[in-house]
Structure 1
Amino acid sequence: MIKGFKDFIMRGNVIDLAVAVVIGGAFTALVNALVEAIINPIIALFWKADASGNIGIPVQGLYGEVIFPIGNLLTAVITFFAVAIVVYFVFVYPMNVFKERAAAKAGVSEEPELPTEQELLVQIRDLLEKQPRP
Structure 2
Amino acid sequence: MSKKKEPSIWEGFKAFLMRGNVVDLAVAVVIGAAFTNIVNSVVKGVINPLVGAVGTKNLDHYSYCLQDPCTGSGDAATGITIMWGSVLGATLSFVITAAVVYFLMVLPMAKYLSRLEARRKAKEGTQEVIEVTELEVLKEIRDALVAQRGSGHDRE
8 A contact 1:40–1:71 mirrored in 2: no
TM-score (norm 1): 0.58
Which deviates more, 59-68 or 87-96?
59-68
User: Paired residue for 1:21?
Assistant: 29
For 2:151, the equivalent position in structure 1 comes to none
Q: State the Cα distance separating 1:44 from its structure 2 match.
A: 2.7
Distance in 2 separating the partners of 1:81 and 1:34: 12
Residues 10 and 107 (structure 1), Cα distance of their counterparts in 2 relative to 1, 3 Å cut = farther
Alignment partner of 2:46 out of 38, 43, 59: 38
Identity %: 39
Greater percentage in helix: 2
Q: Kindly provide the amino acid, as one letter, of the partner of residue 27 in structure 1.
A: F
Matched, 1:56 2:36: no
Consecutive unaligned residues in structure 1, runs of 5 or more: 109-134
Residue among 84, 87, 105 paired with 1:70:
84
Aligned to 2:117: 103
Number of equivalent positions: 106
Relative distance call for 1:13 and 1:106 in structure 2 (3 A) is farther
CA RMSD for the aligned pairs?
A: 3.6
| Pair 1:14–1:21, CA change in 2 (3 A) | same
For 2:51 and 2:87, the matched residues in 1 are separated by 11
> Against the structure 1 CA distance between its residues 3 and 79, is the aligned structure 2 distance closer, same or farther, given a 3 Å change threshold?
same
The 1-side partners of 2:47 and 2:27 are apart by 28
Query: Which amino acid in 2 is paired with 1:19?
Result: V
| Partner Cα separation in structure 1 for residue 121 and residue 15 of structure 2 | 30
TM-score, structure 2 normalization: 0.51
Larger Rg: 2
Instruction: Quote the offset at 1:58 in angstroms.
Output: 6.1
